[in-house]
Amino acid sequence: MNVEKCSFPKGSGVSDDGLTSNKIPVRHFFGTRGTPVGLATHIQLGHIASGPREFPSVVALKQIHSTRVVVIHTHRGLGALEQTEGDALVTNQPETLVVVRTADCVPVLLVEKARGVVGAIHAGWRGAVGGIVAETIRSCVNEFGAKAEHMHLAIGPSIGPCCYEVDEQVINPLRSRYPAWPGVLQETNAGKGVLDLKQLIYHQIRAGGVPDSQIGRVDHCTHCRDDLFFSYRREGQVKGTMYSGIILPAA
Ligand SMILES: [Zn+2]
């Protein structure tokens, strides 16, 4: 693994996330710091494939850095907000926007076109090491008959290895639960290392059976790009979070 300084010049455009280039017919976005923190009326979209608008139903979770996947089987009301705890949402319901909030953690969006399933994942190191990506793929398969080989996933903006030094609190569980850890962690000093969280998630998506050509990533680092993103680590507190979401069109 090479660790390089974030190479995106300030003000450069947002890189492609795979869903757009593969012409997947779902609307989705990765938010920026221009996104309002509240979901009360509608979401102003920072990065969107097909233009801002209001959504009939918005579903979010009380995120707890777990591996819990919440399955939405029925259409919720206008602007429905979950108080349920969990860190991934999957649904086969059209016109239901599933969203996650991040500020350094990785937002991952998923779509399986053939079965009409979408999902959104919030993956920090705890969720990633715990296996939330595999859990989400499994939920889509078990609950909706989706196939991993038909899924497209987009890995959104998050803290990059350029800025993500971790200690034994992260390194020890990573080593014990993820045998391929040398591919995503570069040790620096004793008990310290830099973690490539996006690469860990990419490996887990591949291990879940999704072809490489169907995985995209936005390689912006939330810590480097203070012009675009909130960063918990840079700001030392929660100043704001970015929303990322995906929605199936009306049936
Ligand atoms: Zn960085």
The pLDDT score that the predictor gives to residue 80 is 64
- For 27, 39, 177, the CA distances from 78, given in Å and listed in that order, are 18, 12, 41
Q: Are 98 and 81 in contact (CB under 8 A)?
A: no
Taking the centre of ligand 1 as the mean of its atom positions, its distance from the CA of residue 55, in whole angstroms, is 33
The pLDDT score that the predictor gives to residue 218 is 86
Residues near ion ligand 1 (Cβ under 5 Å): 6, 160, 162-163, 221, 223-224
Taking the centre of ligand 1 as the mean of its atom positions, its distance from the CA of residue 218, in whole angstroms, is 13
Taking the centre of ligand 1 as the mean of its atom positions, its distance from the CA of residue 249, in whole angstroms, is 35
Taking the centre of ligand 1 as the mean of its atom positions, its distance from the CA of residue 102, in whole angstroms, is 15
Taking the centre of ligand 1 as the mean of its atom positions, its distance from the CA of residue 222, in whole angstroms, is 7
Q: For every one of its 251 residues, what pLDDT tens digit does the chain have, with 9 covering 90 and above?
A: 223 333 333 333 344 566 766 666 788 888 777 754 443 333 333 333 333 445 567 888 889 999 999 999 987 765 566 678 999 999 999 988 898 988 889 999 999 999 999 999 999 999 999 999 999 999 999 999 999 999 999 998 999 999 999 999 999 999 999 999 999 999 998 899 999 999 999 999 999 999 999 999 888 898 888 888 888 777 776 666 788 888 888 87
The pLDDT score that the predictor gives to residue 78 is 59
The pLDDT score that the predictor gives to residue 72 is 92
Taking the centre of ligand 1 as the mean of its atom positions, its distance from the CA of residue 163, in whole angstroms, is 4
DSSP letter for each residue of 162-174: TT-EE-HHHHHHH
The tokens 């490996």 sit on which residue? 203
The pLDDT score that the predictor gives to residue 27 is 81
pTM of the model: 0.85
The pLDDT score that the predictor gives to residue 46 is 30
Delineate the domains of the chain, giving CATH numbers in brackets. 27-158+210-247 (3.60.140.10)
Taking the centre of ligand 1 as the mean of its atom positions, its distance from the CA of residue 250, in whole angstroms, is 38
The pLDDT score that the predictor gives to residue 21 is 62
Taking the centre of ligand 1 as the mean of its atom positions, its distance from the CA of residue 25, in whole angstroms, is 31
Taking the centre of ligand 1 as the mean of its atom positions, its distance from the CA of residue 7, in whole angstroms, is 9
The pLDDT score that the predictor gives to residue 20 is 65
